[in-house]
């Protein structure tokens, strides 16, 4: 992983290194298993994180989508597309969470 792991992930990595490594490898394998490009894959995972109401995963996949070349506008659009599925309150929360990650202008 290119990003610094949250402290609770570091603890899991320290306690269960083989499991953590297997999970990391699984992530790499599923990304490589099909034709979806990295940016789109992270936008899809971002949508899943929003549906699960996982602030940490929203932060992570926002960072990863940006690193893969997604623009703020693409990330916002991905969130807006969820509104009729996950509802306005969850979408509004997700917008605030991605703003935590966006670089300041």
Q: In this predicted model, what pLDDT tens digit does every residue of 71-103 receive, in sequence order? A: 999 999 999 999 999 999 999 999 999 999 998
Q: Specify whether 47 is located in the same domain as 96.
A: yes
- String of DSSP letters for 57-71: HHHHHHHHHHHTT--
Q: Specify whether 103 is located in the same domain as 67.
A: yes
As a whole number, the mean pLDDT across the chain is 92
Q: Specify whether 2 is located in the same domain as 53.
A: no
Distance CA 46, CA 102 (A): 14
Q: Specify whether 21 is located in the same domain as 43.
A: no
pLDDT of residue 85: 95
Distance CA 57, CA 34 (A): 22
Confidence of residue 104 (pLDDT cuts 50, 70, 90): confident
């Amino acid at each position: 992983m290119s990003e610094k792991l949250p402290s609770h992930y570091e603890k899991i990595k320290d306690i269960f290194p083989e499991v953590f490594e297997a999970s990391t490898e699984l992530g790499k394998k599923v990304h490589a298993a099909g034709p979806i490009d990295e940016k789109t894959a992270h936008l899809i995972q971002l949508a899943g994180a929003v549906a699960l109401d996982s602030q940490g995963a929203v932060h992570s996949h926002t960072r990863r989508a940006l690193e893969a070349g997604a623009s703020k506008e693409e990330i916002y659009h991905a969130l807006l597309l969820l509104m009729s599925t996950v509802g306005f309150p969850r979408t509004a929360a997700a917008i605030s969470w991605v703003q935590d990650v966006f670089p300041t202008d």
